C-alpha cells in the first residue's frame, strides 16, 4: 500500500508513524513544503522568551535526535521529502503533483491512500505597511528564530502584538520577560476571547500589573515606516511607536489543495471529514488544523487548530487507513489554556457568552473564588466559573483564572464535560486529596456546590458584571461587606457599602434597611463569608438577599486600595 | 427543630454549618469530646515536619479566626460543647446523655434529628511496651503538638514508624526532613497498599534514596524500654533501637455509641447508612470516618476515612435533614494521594491486585512512563498504570507515581471513572494543552493509547513484575534494549540483554534469533522506542515480540549503573 501524507508538522508525522506501527510494509511518503518536520510549534513563544535556547529542542525526540528525513528513514522507514510543495491532486489517477523547491523539479507520485495534514496559515490583513521589515507572525520555525533574535538583541524598545488571543498573549509574555515593552491591540472588548468578559478582565489586570499595555476595542488601520516598521496606526487614529509588530489574529485552515481537488469543505473553510477523519473522497483522509471537527456540545462543525487535537486526529486517521474505519474521533469540547506570567487562564466547553450565542438560554452559572490549597500549605487563588444546563444539570463549561493550579481543575472539568456529567455528580466527586495538592473540598467541587446552591434556589447570586452595570447606571443597591475592619481598610469597593464583619451581623441587624424586602448584596474577599451572611439575613426574614459571586477576588473593576 | 451533632472534627462541623445555612431557626448543638473543633487533621504531618509552625492554622478559618465555640456561636449561631462526651443515646426518648469532662456534670439533651460524626480511632495492637513513653499515634491535635516538639528538639536520632500506609509515609517524610533517621516497618510486602507491588517498589526506591530505611514483610512483636521506648522488636526477632515510635497501621470506625444504641453496623464495623446518609433509625444520620459507604466499582460497602469524603457526606446529610432526603451520596471510587519527598504517589479506582481480589478477571492493564511536559519545559517523569474492563473498555483504575505533576492526571482519571468513561473516550480526550502544562498528548491519554494498543491486540506487553519473576526463575528470554550506547553505558538491566539502537534495528536483524517465533522482549528508557522496535520486528516477520511496559523508568528492581 502506497500512502502519501501532505504536511509534516503535527498531524502528518503522527499519521505516518502510526501507519508504520500498524503496517510494516506500507510505502509511506511525507511531503513537506518547509525545511523542518515535526516542529513543536506550541513551544515557539517559550523559545522566543528564552525558556530554552536550542532550536533543536523544537524538532528533536526526547533523547535529542532531530526528526529530520534521516531520522524518519532510519527509525521509521518513512520517506520524508522536505522543501517539496504539493501542487495538485488528481483523484482519478490517484496521483499528487509535487515540486522540489530548491531544484524546481516536478513529478507525480501515486497513492493508494492520501492524507491531508496541510495545517493552517496565519490571518494577515491587507493593510498598508504589512510588508515592512519587522512585521511578522509567529507561525514557523523561521519566524521563531527571527523573533528570538529580536528578543535577545534587546535593541527593540517597543513591540506591538496585534491580537489578544492565546498565541498573542503567550507572545506578549515572551517579549515582556525579555525586557521589551509590549502593547497588545485587540479588536474585541477583551483579551482571550474563549473567556467571558469578567474573567478576561482579571487576566488584563494581571497583564497590566506586569507592565503590558492592553488596548481593547481597537483595530489596526495601518503600519507606518520607511523600510522598517516605525509605528502602528489604530482604527481610532492613535499611533503607537514601535520597532516590531507581531500579528496573531488567528489562523485559517489551509485547505486550498483540497478545494482545488474538489473535496468538500465546511462553512469555516476547513476540510470536511466524517468521524473516521475521512474526506468526501474515501481514499483521502485529513487531520489537524486544516479540517473541521464536531463540537460535542453545540454539534456544529468548526476548525480547532490545536496541537493536541491534531495528534489525536492523526492517530485515528492512521488506524482507519490501515484497519478500515475502526476508530472514531468524536470531536472536541473546546479546551484551551494559557500561561500569563504568574496567572493561568483556561476554558473548556462553552463560555456563557458562547452558550447564549449558540441558543442555550436555560442555563445556570456560578463564579467561585478560593485558594487552591490550605493556607498552611501556601494556597494560591483560583477563580472558577461554571456553566450548566438548568433542566438536566449537565455541565456545559468551565473557566478558570488565577495564580493557583488551574490546569488540574480545567482538566477535570474537561473530562467531566466529555463524560456528560452533571451537577449532582460534580458536587460529590471523589478526588485525590492531601494538603500539598488541594483544599479538603477541591475548588472544582466547591464551585459545583455554589452552582448547586443557585440551581436549587438556596442562593441568589449577582455577578460582578451585573453589579458593575447597575452601579454605572446610577443604582445604589445596599451593599454589605462582611470582612474584618483591617481587610476593609486595605482594599474595598468604596461605592457606599456598609461594613459589618460576619461575626457581628447577627447583633447589628439595626444597621440594615428596615424594610426586609429591600435588596441586600453581601460579599467578602471570596464571598464564602458573604454567603454565610446571606443565609443569616434570610434566617432573620430578609427576603431579597444576593451574594456577589466570587467576592472581591473576582471583581475585575477598579477597587480602592 | 433541635439537632445534635456528635463529633466536631470534619463531618460534624460541616453538617452543623450547612444545616444553619439552610435553616436559620434550627437549634444546633455540636458535642465534642476533645478541646478542639474543625481540626485540619490531614495537615498534622506538615505541621510536625515544619512546613508551618503555628498550630492555630490547623483550626482557623482562612482569615485566621480560630474555629472555637465563640466562633461557632457568633458566626453560625451554633452551640459547640467541647470537652464533652456523648455517653449514650436513647432513641425512644430521642435524647443523648452527655458528660462535661472537666466538671463531671452529666445531663440529657433532646433532639429531633441526631447526627453521628464520631470519626475513627487509630488501631494500636496489644503488644508489650505499647504504653511506654515515646509510643504515639498521629491522630489528634495533642499528638501533632507532641510529635512536632520531638521533631524540633532533634534529641531523637531514630524513629520507627509502624505502618507504611498513607499517613505512615507522610509521617516518615516529616521526621526525615527534620533530620531524624526514620525506619518504616510494614507487615505487607510493600508500602502504600493502594498501589500495586511494582508501583509501590518505585516509591520505596525513592524513600531509600532519601535515606529512609524500609522494612517490609515484617511486623512488630514488642516495644522495649524502661519508662521510655528504647527499641522495637520485630516478628523476625530483629531489634531496632529508637527513641520514638509512631503507630500508623490504620484506623477503625468509631461506632461504639451507634452499636450501643442498636443502630445497624456494617461488616467492617462502620455505621450503615443509606444513600441519604441516614442510619437504620430515620431520625439519625451519620457521616465521615464512622460510616461505611458504597464503592462505586465493586458495589461493596466500606469505611473510607478521608477528610474530603467526610465533608461531602456532611453536606449531603445536612441537606437531607433540613429538606427531607433530596440529595444522594452515591459513594466513592477510592481516590488517594500522597506526597513522598519529591515523588507523588496516588491511586483511584481499583489496583490490579484489588481488582483480581474482587473477582474482576477479564481486565487489561498498561504501564506507561513519560515526562509530564515537553523536555524544553523541564518535564518530569510520571509512571502511570491503567486498568480497564476487557469487554466494555470501561476504566477501572489508575495509579501514578513520579516527580511530575501526578495529581492532575490522577484527578482526571478519578473523574473519568466516576463518569464511567472507557478507553474509546480516553484516547481522544480534549484536554488543556500548552507547553507549560503538559506534552502535546497528555500522559493520561498516551497511557490510554498503550492500553488501547494492548486491548486491540496490536501490542503485547510484559510487566516488570512478570519479567523479573521469569528471570529469577532462571529463564533467559531474548532481551533487546534499543537505546543509544551512551544510555546503555550509564545504566542497564545487565542480565544478558542485546543492545541495538532503534535506528539500527532494521539493518541488524542478523543479531536477532534466527527462529522468528522466538520470544523477543524490547524496551528503552520508557519503552516508546521499545514499541517502535517491536513494530519493526513484527513487520519483519517476528511473531512473538513483547514490549517491556514503562521500560527502565518503570523497572523497580536493581539495575546496573
What is the full DSSP assignment across A98-146? EEETTTTEEEEEE-SEEEE---EEE-----TTTTSBTEEES-SHHHHHH
Q: What is the mean pLDDT of chain B?
A: 96
Chosen from B440, B486, B490, B536 to mutate, greatest number of chain A CBs within 10 A: B440
CA distance A455 to B304: 29
**pLDDT confidence band for B241 (50 / 70 / 90):** very high
Can you give the C-alpha Rg of chain A in angstroms?
Answer: 27
Q: Which residues of chain B neighbour A76 with C-beta distances below 8 Å? A: 532
Q: Do A434 and B40 touch (CB under 8 A)?
A: no
Residues B7 and B70 in one domain: yes
**Residue B245 sits in the same domain as residue B154:** yes
The answer to whether the Cβ–Cβ distance between A430 and B42 falls below 8 Å is no
Write out the three cell numbers for A438.
Answer: 488541594
**Does B63 score more than 90 pLDDT?**
no
Burial class (CB in 10 A: 0-12, 13-18, 19+), A66: middle
B176 lies in a domain?
yes
* CA separation for the pair A384, A405 (Å, rounded): 12
pLDDT above 90: residue B64: no
Single out the residue in A408, A432, A455 at which a domain terminates.
A455
Are B534 and B478 in the same domain? yes
- Smallest CA–CA distance from A346 into chain B, residue: B432
Of A429, A434, A437, the CB nearest to B418: A429
pLDDT of residue B62: 83
Q: Is the pLDDT of residue B301 over 90?
A: yes
Give the C-alpha separation, A530 to B17, whole Å: 14
pLDDT tens digits, residue range A490-546?
Answer: 999 999 999 999 999 999 999 999 999 999 999 999 999 999 999 999 999 999 999
Among B62, B438, B539, the residue with its CB nearest the CB of A24 is B539
User: What is the reported pLDDT for A23?
Assistant: 94
* Separation of alpha carbons B160 and A184, rounded Å: 59
Catalytic residue among A42, A156, A535, A536: A42
CATH classification at residue B236: 3.50.50.60
Pairing of strands A301-303, A291-294: antiparallel
- Contacts (Cβ under 8 Å, ≥6 apart) of B131: none
Report pTM. Answer: 0.97
Chain B hits for A424, CB-CB cut-off 8 Å, are 327-328
pLDDT mean over A204-229: 97
Check if the beta carbon of residue B190 is closer than 8 Å to that of residue B168.
no
- Which one of A23, A425, A528 has the shortest CB-CB distance to B418? A425
Angle (CA) B430 A14 A270, round 5°: 60
Whether residue B154 is predicted with pLDDT greater than 90 in this model: the reply is no
Q: Is the domain of B116 the same as that of B10?
A: yes
Q: Where is the domain boundary, B323, B351, B383?
A: B323
CB–CB contact A436 B412 (8 Å): no
Which of residues 23 through 62 in chain B touch A, CB cutoff 8 A?
Answer: 23-25, 40, 42-43, 46-47, 51-52, 57-58, 62
Query: Any CB–CB contact under 8 A between B458 and chain A?
Result: yes
A548 within domain boundaries: yes
The verdict on residue B402 lying in a domain is yes
For residue B519, give the C-alpha cell: 520470544
Predicted pLDDT of residue A559: 94
For residue A430, which residues of chain B lie inside 8 Å, CB to CB?
Answer: 308-309, 331-335, 348, 414, 418
CB of B63 within 8 Å of a chain A CB? The answer is: yes
CATH number at residue A478: 3.40.250.10
Contacts of A464 (CB under 8 A, 6+ apart): A198, A367, A548, A549, A550, A554, A555, A556, A557
Cα(B300)–Cα(B354) distance, rounded to whole angstroms? 13
Residue A154 pLDDT more than 90?
Answer: no
Domain count, chain A: 4
The pLDDT tens digits of the residues spanning A254-293 come to 999 999 999 999 999 999 999 999 999 999 999 999 999 9
Say whether A42 is catalytic. Answer: yes
Specify whether B364 is located in the same domain as B437. Answer: yes
The reply to whether A358 and A347 lie within a common domain is: yes
Confidence band for A378, pLDDT divided at 50, 70 and 90: very high
On the question of pLDDT at B392 being above 90, the answer is yes
pLDDT (tens digit, 9 = 90+) per residue, B282-296? Answer: 999 999 999 999 999
Does residue A470 share a domain with residue A447? Answer: no
% pLDDT > 70, chain A? 100
Q: Measured between CA atoms, how close is B61 to chain A, in angstroms? A: 9
Mean pLDDT for B499-507 is 94
The whole-number pLDDT of residue A391 equals 95
Please tell me the distance in Å from A163's CA to the nearest CA on chain B. 18
Evaluate if residue B219 carries a pLDDT over 90: yes
Contact at CB, B540 and A458, closer than 8 angstroms: no
Could you give the percent of chain A with pLDDT greater than 90? 97
Contact B124, B247 (CB under 8 A): yes
Contacts of A23 in chain B (CB under 8 A): 539
Does A30 reside within a domain? yes
Closest chain A residue to B17, measured at CA: A532
Tell whether A411 lies on the interface with B, counting CB pairs under 8 A.
yes
pLDDT tens track for B87-139: 999 999 999 999 999 999 999 999 999 999 999 999 999 999 999 999 999 99
| Domain around B407 | 336-455
Which positions in chain A touch B532 (Cβ < 8 Å)?
Answer: 21, 75-76
B25, B425, B427: residue with CB nearest A539: B25
Residue A532 with chain B: CB contacts under 8 Å = 21, 75-76
Mean pLDDT within B342-348? 98
- A551-to-A546, B14, B328 alpha-carbon distances in Å: 12, 22, 29
Q: How far apart are CA B6 and CA B10, in angstroms?
A: 11
pLDDT tens readout for residues B312-328: 999 999 999 999 999 99
**A405/B502 Cβ within 8 A:** no
Is A169 in the B-facing interface, judged by CB distances under 8 Å? no
Which positions of B are catalytic? Answer: 42
Nearest to A336 among B43, B432, B487 (CB): B432
Q: What is the mean pLDDT of chain A?
A: 96
Q: B318 and B275, same structural domain?
A: yes
Q: What is the pLDDT of residues B38-55, one digit of tens each?
A: 999 999 999 999 999 999
Mean pLDDT of A155-163: 95
- Nearest Cα of chain B lies from the Cα of A3 at a distance, in angstroms, of 17
B240-266 average pLDDT score: 97
Q: What is the pLDDT of residue A359?
A: 94
What confidence tier does A132 reach under pLDDT thresholds 50, 70, 90?
Answer: very high
Burial of residue B233, with CB atoms counted within 10 A of its CB: 0-12 exposed, 13-18 middle, 19 or more buried: middle
**Cross-chain CB nearest to A51 (options B75, B336, B377):** B377
Is residue A354 within 8 Å of residue A188, measured between CB atoms? no
Interface check for B66 against chain A (CB to CB < 8 A): the answer is no
- Final residue of a domain: which of A249, A280, A309? A249
B437 falls within a domain: yes
Q: Is B268 on the interface with A (CB under 8 A)?
A: no
Cite the beta strand spans of A372-485 per DSSP E: 381-389, 395-402, 461-462, 478-481
Mean pLDDT, to the nearest integer, of B193-220?
97
Q: For residue range B530-545, what is the model confidence (pLDDT) as tens digits? A: 999 999 999 999 999 9
Residue-level pLDDT at A289:
98
CB contact under 8 A, A335 and B432: yes
Which three-class secondary structure state does DSSP give residue B135? strand
Phi (first) and psi of residue A478, to 5 degrees: -75, 115
A433 & A362 share domain: yes
* Chain A residues close to B306, C-beta within 8 Å: 433
The answer to whether residues A101 and A150 belong to one domain is no
Find chain B residues with C-beta within 8 A of A166's C-beta. Answer: 434
Residue of B335, B433, B539 with shortest CB distance to A307? B433
Q: B472 with B449, same domain?
A: no
Q: Calculate the CA A214 to chain-centre distance.
A: 18
Per-residue pLDDT at B296: 98
Between chains, do A420 and B419 touch, taking CB under 8 Å as contact?
A: yes
b (16+ CB within 10 A) / e for A488-504: beeebbeeeeebbbbbe
Nearest residue of B to residue A420, measured between CA atoms: B419
Compute the nearest-CA separation of A91 from chain B (Å).
29
Closest chain A CA to residue B343: A436
Chain A to chain B Cβ contacts (< 8 Å): 278
The residues near A437 (Cβ < 8 Å, ≥ 6 apart) are A373, B337, B339, B344, B407
Q: Which of residues 281-310 of B touch A (CB under 8 A)?
A: 306-309
Residues 328-387 of A with CB under 8 A from B: 328-339, 344, 346, 348, 371, 374-377
Please identify which residue in the block is written with the cell numbers 508538522: A9
Inter-CA distances, A294 with A275, A329, A488, Å: 9, 9, 49
Is residue A127 in a domain? Answer: no
Closest in A407, A432, A536 to B432, CB measured: A407
Quick one: average pLDDT of B407-429? 98
Select from A359, A530, A537 the least CA-distant residue to A450.
A530
Mean pLDDT for the stretch of residues A298-303: 97
Interface residue of B296, B411, B427 to substitute, partner A, most A CBs within 10 Å: B411
Domain annotation covers residue A331: no
- Residue B245 and residue B139 in one domain: yes
Q: Could you tell me if residue A128 is inside a domain?
A: no
Helix H or strand E segment including B198: helix B197-209
Mutate to test the interface with A, among B431, B506, B551 (most CBs of A within 10 A): B431
Chain-chain contact of B432 with A346 (C-beta, under 8 angstroms): yes
B473 burial via Cβ count (<10 Å: 0-12, 13-18, 19+)? exposed
Task: Give the Cα separation of A17 and A331 in Å (integer).
Answer: 22
Q: What's residue A62's pLDDT?
A: 83
Amino acid at each position: 500500500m502506497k500512502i502519501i501524507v501532505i504536511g509534516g508538522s503535527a498531524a502528518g508525522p503522527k499519521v505516518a508513524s502510526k501507519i508504520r506501527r500498524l503496517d510494516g510494509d506500507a510505502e509511506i511518503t511525507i511531503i513537506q513544503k518547509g525545511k523542518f518536520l515535526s516542529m513543536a510549534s506550541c513551544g515557539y513563544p517559550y523559545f522566543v522568551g528564552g525558556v530554552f535556547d536550542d532550536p533543536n529542542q523544537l524538532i528533536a525526540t526526547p533523547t535529542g535526535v532531530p526528526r529530520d528525513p534521516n531520522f524518519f528513514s532510519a527509525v521509521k522507514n518513512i520517506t520524508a521529502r522536505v522543501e517539496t510543495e504539493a501542487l495538485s491532486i488528481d483523484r482519478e489517477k490517484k496521483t499528487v503533483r509535487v515540486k522540489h523547491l530548491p531544484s524546481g523539479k516536478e513529478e507525480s507520485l501515486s497513492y493508494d491512500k492520501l492524507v491531508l495534514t496541510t495545517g493552517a496559515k496565519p490571518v494577515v490583513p491587507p493593510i498598508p505597511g504589512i510588508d515592512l521589515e519587522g512585521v511578522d507572525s509567529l507561525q514557523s520555525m523561521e519566524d521563531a528564530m527571527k523573533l528570538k533574535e529580536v528578543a535577545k538583541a534587546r535593541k527593540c524598545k517597543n513591540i506591538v502584538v496585534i491580537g489578544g488571543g492565546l498565541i498573542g498573549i503567550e507572545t506578549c509574555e515572551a517579549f515582556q520577560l525579555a525586557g521589551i515593552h509590549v502593547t497588545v491591540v485587540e479588536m474585541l472588548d477583551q483579551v482571550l476571547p474563549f473567556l467571558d468578559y469578567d474573567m478576561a478582565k482579571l487576566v488584563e489586570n494581571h497583564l497590566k500589573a506586569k507592565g503590558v499595555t492592553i488596548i481593547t476595542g481597537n483595530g489596526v488601520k495601518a503600519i507606518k515606516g520607511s523600510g522598517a516598521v516605525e509605528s502602528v496606526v489604530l482604527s481610532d487614529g492613535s499611533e503607537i511607536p514601535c520597532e516590531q509588530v507581531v500579528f496573531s489574529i488567528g489562523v485559517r485552515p489551509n485547505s486550498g489543495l483540497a478545494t482545488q481537488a474538489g473535496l468538500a469543505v465546511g462553512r469555516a473553510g476547513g476540510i470536511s471529514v466524517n468521524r473516521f477523519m475521512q474526506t468526501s473522497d474515501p481514499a483521502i483522509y485529513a487531520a489537524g488544523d486544516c479540517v473541521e471537527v464536531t463540537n460535542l456540545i453545540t454539534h456544529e462543525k468548526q476548525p480547532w487548530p490545536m496541537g493536541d487535537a491534531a495528534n489525536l486526529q492523526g492517530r485515528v486517521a492512521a488506524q482507519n487507513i490501515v484497519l478500515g474505519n475502526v476508530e472514531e474521533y468524536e470531536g472536541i469540547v473546546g479546551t484551551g489554556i494559557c500561561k500569563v506570567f504568574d496567572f493561568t487562564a483556561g476554558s473548556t466547553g462553552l463560555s456563557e457568552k458562547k452558550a447564549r450565542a449558540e441558543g442555550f438560554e436555560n442555563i445556570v452559572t456560578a463564579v467561585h473564588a478560593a485558594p487552591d490549597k490550605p493556607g498552611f500549605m501556601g494556597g494560591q487563588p483560583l477563580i472558577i466559573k461554571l456553566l450548566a444546563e438548568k433542566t438536566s444539570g449537565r455541565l456545559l463549561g468551565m473557566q478558570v483564572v488565577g495564580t493557583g493550579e488551574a490546569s488540574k481543575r480545567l482538566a477535570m472539568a474537561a473530562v467531566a464535560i466529555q463524560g456528560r456529567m452533571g451537577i449532582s455528580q460534580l458536587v460529590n466527586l471523589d478526588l485525590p486529596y492531601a494538603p500539598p495538592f488541594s483544599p479538603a473540598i477541591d475548588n472544582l467541587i466547591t464551585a459545583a456546590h455554589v452552582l448547586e446552591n443557585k440551581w436549587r434556589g438556596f442562593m441568589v447570586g449577582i455577578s460582578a458584571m451585573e453589579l458593575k452595570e447597575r452601579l454605572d447606571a446610577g443604582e445604589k443597591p445596599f451593599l454589605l461587606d462582611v470582612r474584618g475592619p483591617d481587610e476593609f481598610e486595605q482594599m474595598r469597593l468604596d461605592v457606599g457599602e456598609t461594613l459589618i464583619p460576619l461575626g457581628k451581623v447577627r447583633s447589628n441587624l439595626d444597621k440594615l434597611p428596615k424594610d426586609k424586602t429591600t435588596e441586600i448584596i453581601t460579599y467578602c474577599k471570596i464571598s464564602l463569608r458573604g454567603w454565610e451572611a446571606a443565609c443569616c439575613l434570610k434566617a432573620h426574614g430578609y427576603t431579597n438577599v444576593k451574594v456577589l459571586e466570587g467576592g472581591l477576588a473576582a471583581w475585575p473593576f477598579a477597587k480602592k486600595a
